[in-house]
Amino acid sequence: MRILVVTQYFWPENFRINDLCAELAKRGHEVTVLTGKPNYPDGEVFKDYRENKSAFISYKGCRIVRVPMLTRGKGSAIKLLSNYISYVFSASLWGGWELRNKQFDVIFVYQPSPVTVCLPAIFIKKCKHIPVVFWVQDLWPETLQAIGVVKSPKLLSLVGCLVRFIYNRCDLVLGQSRAFHRGIAKYCDYATKIHYFPNWSEQIFTQSHIEPVSNIEKCQDTFKVLFAGNIGEAQDFPAILKAAQELKNQQIKAKILIVGDGRMHDWVQSEVVTRGLEQYLYLLGRHPLESMPNFYASADALLVTLKNSPIFKMTIPSKVQSYLAAGKPILTMLSGEGSRVIEEAKCGYIADSGDYEQLASNIVRMSRLSDDELKGLGENAKFYAEREFDRDTLITQLEHWFVEVVKTRDARS
């Protein structure tokens, strides 16, 4: 099958779409990726790409078509908005021209954020009469309201109209959690085209050869809690800092380690120094996906958090599947679907969004478990990942949906 993947983010940026595209190509599909210049999360085009663009025109059997766009910058809402808008126009016009003589069977859109990433796909659909499958990772406009980016009810309503326009021009809309069905259905006229399609863990997290990370391993007699991922508004770092403060107040031998980068990185680093939390919260910087299994293995437990918001209660953060596959105990500070998964898997301790006192208490409680008890929680995590989020099963299901939408298009033509 000839598949066009439309995504604003792609390798060498670290997103699950990289793994999906590689697997589809491995299964014999002809995969073309329409994306922009890699600049996430730093907001500047990657140095390796600038110096040798020809090295980034293909990825594990997938052809990559990169379009020019404005970078997202760092800390500027105007630059971020410009980044979103420039990708829409560039992918539609420049990308449409680059692909003018290319035929596809289906378009697949990956949307962590923004929802506007689907507009180029809709444009190409109209030009080439190709069905569109849209994978929703982030519900708009609710997320914009939750993180305070948009507060005006009128503007949120306009974004809602845009979302309705997009959903109703897709042939299938896939939600990353079961709770997403309700949020998508608010803007989608035909609920029958909404399906549950969760994330999975990349195969790299199931590898057997692990090298311990030296600067984590050296934290002797300290319970090590690792947070991996975006350091942003949605992850509620003010509450994480308060949990670290609780550990300090109780003089607990525990440390929260942060692996990643994002718009709040500098603020978090400054607050650690201001509050004297250097012994309880430490930022390790951003590292490539390939090294993450080593970080996970070097930690005693893994942490996932989200702010308190109705929309985030519906969300399963994509790192949850990777955490589960890594076979480590998991701590949460989030409400809704994410914590439900951990509780159902019986692989850790949960706290509601913003409840830093409960998180700190759970860290203390978990730090007192025996090695066998910790190992048991990790084994539960791994078993649940294999049962609920099996990569091969999910990608095979996606292939079946591709076939269905192509057959439906052919029947109508």
Q: Is the pLDDT of residue 98 over 70?
A: yes
* Alpha-helical runs (H) found in 168-306: 180-185, 214-217, 237-249, 265-274, 292-298
Kindly give the interhelix angle for 77-89 and 118-128, rounded to the nearest 10 degrees. Answer: 10
Domains and CATH numbers, the chain: 2-200+390-412 (3.40.50.2000), 203-388 (3.40.50.2000)
* Calpha distance 150→331 (Å, rounded): 30
* Contact (Cβ atoms closer than 8 angstroms) between residue 137 and residue 319: no
Q: Are strands 106-111 and 2-6 parallel, antiparallel or unpaired?
A: parallel
Does residue 12 have a cis bond before it (omega within 30 degrees)? yes
The pTM score is 0.81
Q: Which of 52, 88, 54, 57 is nearest to 70 (CA)?
A: 88
Q: Are strands 348-349 and 194-196 parallel, antiparallel or unpaired?
A: unpaired
Total Cβ atoms within 10 A of residue 245? 18
Q: Is the pLDDT of residue 148 over 80?
A: no
**Cα angle at 276 between 374 and 236, to 5 degrees?**
60
31-86 pLDDT per residue, tens: 999 999 999 988 899 999 999 999 999 999 999 999 999 998 877 788 888 999 99
Q: Is the pLDDT of residue 210 over 90?
A: no
Q: Is the pLDDT of residue 375 over 70?
A: yes
For residue 207, the model assigns a pLDDT of 65
The answer to which of 105-114, 116-125, 138-147, 318-327 has the lowest mean pLDDT is 138-147
For residue 217, the model assigns a pLDDT of 64
Q: Where does residue 224 rank: exposed (0-12), middle (13-18), buried (19+ CB within 10 A)?
A: buried
Q: What is the mean pLDDT of the chain?
A: 92
* Calpha distance 292→281 (Å, rounded): 19
220-235 pLDDT per residue, tens: 789 999 999 999 988 9
For residue 208, the model assigns a pLDDT of 61
The identity of residue 390, as a single letter, is D
Q: Which of 268, 271, 275, 270 is nearest to 305 (CA)?
A: 268
Distances (CA, A) of 380 to 156, 201, 329, 330: 41, 15, 9, 10
